Homo-oligomer: A and B are copies of this chain.
Amino acid sequence: MRHLLTLEHLDRATITRLLDRAERFRNEGAPRDLLAGRTVLTLFFEHSTRTRTSFVLAAKRLGADNVNFDLSHSSTSKGESLLDTLHTLEAMHLDALVVRHNENGMPQYLADHANTGVAIVNAGDGTHAHPTQGLLDALTIRQRRPDFGNLRVTICGDIRHSRVARSDAQALHALGARDIRLCAPRAMLPDALDDFPGCTASEDFDAAIENADVVVMLRIQKERMADAQLPDASDYHARYGLDARRLALAAEDCQVLHPGPINRGVEIAPEVADGPQSRILDQVANGVAVRMAVLAELLTTPA
């Protein structure tokens, strides 16, 4: 592995190796000097304090130097091209560039032009991919349900625009999940399921959640509700929110995931978000471990 741009073509063995390493880091800690002397630069074109903090902690806990490149005041505002920025940073002896961008494919574009020796890590690009989120969700699920062959997962929310849904579906499919169900109002379903291998789609959440072992709830952007003719948060909640009644339709020990930050009372009811089946905070903890595993994988040669 040279970069981590998407989970689309990652095979089960590679994903499993990353999850195993993340699990070891969580349980046993990590060597504080594994990445000593290496430089990890975080380059966020979209604000995301939560994801950036997770990557920064991952880098620091392996001993890497971290520099944050704040783009709101950078040379890009002086008209410098993104590739000139990339090559400038590379010349400063960068080892990994963690990039978030609102345009699909921008991390791939950077990887296509990056020097050997620089790893590009996609921290989320447009609606395309959020591979570390896919990995951390898979790890979270595996901690309780290691047998993916029997796993039923429902992903509910704005599937069409969700990079989380794409990366989750791709990870779960690669790991052999039996049944992956996408659920959303029609306007929020994708036109085709090309990006969602092994998935089925429906609009009826009550049906889609039945017997599910895992429900992944997606954050809904209020501006998009009107497109779905559910202009009000309570309308949305009534049809696509996860509350205790709906959760009771799922399997008994169904795990509830959400990438955060959550809209309480919109896509998820407080009693579920804070309830015993919620894995939301485990996802956060796993997020740091997964990002450590990814950086370790990309920046060290296998023993």
Contact = CB atoms under 8 A, between A and B. Distances in A.
B61 A65 contact: yes
Total copies of the chain? 3
Given A91-B282, A281-B91, A84 B53 contact: no
A73 B100 CA distance: 15
Given A37-B61, A53-B92, A57-B92, 14 more contacts: A39-B57, A41-B53, A47-B74, A49-B69, A49-B73, A49-B75, A57-B93, A61-B65, A79-B261, A80-B262, A81-B264, A84-B260, A90-B281, A91-B282
A2 interface: no
7 contacts: A49-B70, A49-B73, A53-B67, A56-B67, A61-B65, A79-B261, A92-B288
A178 to B, nearest CB: 29
A50 interface: yes
A150 to B, nearest CB: 28
Contacts of A47: 73-74
A260 B88 contact: yes
Interface residues of A, number: 45
B80 A285 contact: no
Given A37-B32, A84-B261, A53 B65 contact: no
Contact of A57 (B65, B80, B288): B65
A104 to B, nearest CB: 21
A36 interface: yes
Interface in A45-73: 47, 49-50, 53-54, 56-57, 60-61, 65, 67, 69-71, 73
A122 to B, nearest CB: 20
A67 B57 contact: yes
B285 A92 contact: yes
A87 interface: yes
A9 interface: no
A22 B143 CA distance: 44
A284 interface: yes
A78 interface: yes
